[in-house]
Every structure is written in C-alpha cells, then in structure tokens.
A and B are shown apart, each in its own frame.
Chain A
Amino acid sequence: DSGVTQTPKHLITATGQRVTLRCSPRSGDLSVYWYQQSLDQGLQFLIQYYNGEERAKGNILERFSAQQFPDLHSELNLSSLELGDSALYFCASSVGGTTEAFFGQGTRLTVV
C-alpha cells in the first residue's frame, strides 16, 4: 500500500459527460501528480500541483482540469468525454518536487 488513495476505482460513463476523480496523497506529501495510462499512449504525465498551486503541465487536454485543495487532496475533472478518454488515471504524490513519487492504485475510466 503506497498510502495514496484514489476514488473511485472504476467509473463507467457516457460520451459527452463529465466526471471527477479524487486523490488523497500520502500524509505529509505536498506534491500531487496526475498521469494517464492508455494502451496506445502509455503512461503520460498530465499535471502537477504543489501545496495548492499548479506546478507543471504535461499533455493535459483543455477539456481536463485539476485542482489541489487546502487539505492537499486533489481532483481531476474530465469533461465532454470521448471514447478515447477511456484509460487508467493515476495519481501520485511526493514530499516535494525532488523526491520519488508514490502512485495510487488508479481509477479505470470507461467511456461508452
């Protein structure tokens, strides 16, 4: 158990809908990262937050957004969902930006 908690574990939704994925980082970790894992793209970095502020952006679509709250949990919002958004979404956390990241179990999103 990495200490990073993601909910829900599975999510099935229809095209055009909006969903929210939640992540609770390990106790004491200030950085939260979101990654997408799909068969064709592999593991891709989406976005990082550090202590409530956006720190870095990767290949995140404009339809996707994230935030980190004062209690350090984070949410990834995915809107106008398309079939191609079906993937495993991982959250990871670290103490800062220069230490190793620990991953949650992921949320499997299926868009039908």
Chain B
Amino acid sequence: AQSVTQPDIHITVSEGASLELRCNYSYGATPYLFWYVQSPGQGLQLLLKYFSGDTLVQGIKGFEAEFKRSQSSFNLRKPSVHWSDAAEYFCAVGPGGGADGLTFGKGTHLIIQP
C-alpha cells in the first residue's frame, strides 16, 4: 500500500532563513508527487507537482522540490522564508491527479519566527 511520511510535525524557522521540509513515500509504481499548503481555515493550495522529467521542480511562491527516486524522497525547499509562509504543508503521492485518490502525509506545521 502506498504511504507518505513527513517526519517533522513542527518546524520553526526564522524569517529570511532557508527551509527544507522532508517527505518520504512508498509507492509501487512511478509516483506522481505533490506538495500542498493549507493556511488556517483555508483549503489546500497546490505548490508544485512532479509527474516526470526533470527531478527538480519549481512551484509557486518561490518553492521548489527535488525528487530522489533512490531515497524515495520529495523534499520541499525555499531559500528564504517570509512570515506569510507560516502554514501547514502536506506532501502527497498518487497515480496522476487523483485516480484512486491521493495519499497524504500527516503534514508539517511551519512556524516563522521574526
């Protein structure tokens, strides 16, 4: 069965510092990988996706993620965080956009210190 592990429940980063959120997945076939962000009281917004091709993908809001098949990882990075990045971040895996549905990790709560 497919699964997603986000090892860090909470991460605190100073504003302007770099960020890396970890995501490890287990999937039997070639995975489609996603990062979503959820602000308090809001829905999930797609940050970026990996379907195939270049393993370094760029997303919105200055985020990027790198797919490493050998490590079954899809870590999210940002070189310099802003206070508005404080939110819950979810990594997800699935066949395409949702056939059989996405499997989500438990999420990482990002706190930004001034």
| A interface with B by C-beta (< 8 Å) | 2, 4, 31, 33, 35, 42-48, 55-56, 58, 90, 92, 94-106
Contact A104 B43, beta carbon cutoff 8 Å: yes
A91 to chain B, nearest CB (A): 9
Question: Which A residue sits closest to B100, measured CB to CB?
Answer: A56
| Size bracket of the B interface | 20 to 34
Total A-B contacts with CB atoms under 8 angstroms apart: 77
Mark B70-113 against chain A: 1 for CB-CB distance below 8 A, else 0.
Answer: 00000000000000000000101001111111111111000000
B44 interfacial contact with A, CB 8 Å: yes
A-B contact pairs, 7 of them (CB 8 A): A2-B43, A31-B97, A31-B99, A33-B102, A43-B104, A97-B98, A100-B46
Contact B43 A48, beta carbon cutoff 8 Å: no
B32 to chain A, nearest CB (A): 8
Give the residues in chain B near A98, CB-CB below 8 Å.
32, 95-97, 99
A74 to chain B, nearest CB (A): 13
B52 to chain A, nearest CB (A): 11
B34 interfacial contact with A, CB 8 Å: yes
Contact A105 B100, beta carbon cutoff 8 Å: no
- Known interface pairs A90-B44, A105-B42. Does A45 touch B36 (Cβ–Cβ under 8 Å)? no
Question: Which B residue sits closest to A43, measured CB to CB?
Answer: B104
B53 to chain A, nearest CB (A): 15
Chain B stretch 5-57: residues in CB contact (< 8 A) with chain A: 32, 34, 36, 42-46, 49
A100 to B98, CA, bound (A): 7
B57 to chain A, nearest CB (A): 12
Give the residues in chain A near B95, CB-CB below 8 Å.
97-98
A102 to B49, CA, bound (A): 12
Give the residues in chain A near B44, CB-CB below 8 Å.
90, 92, 103
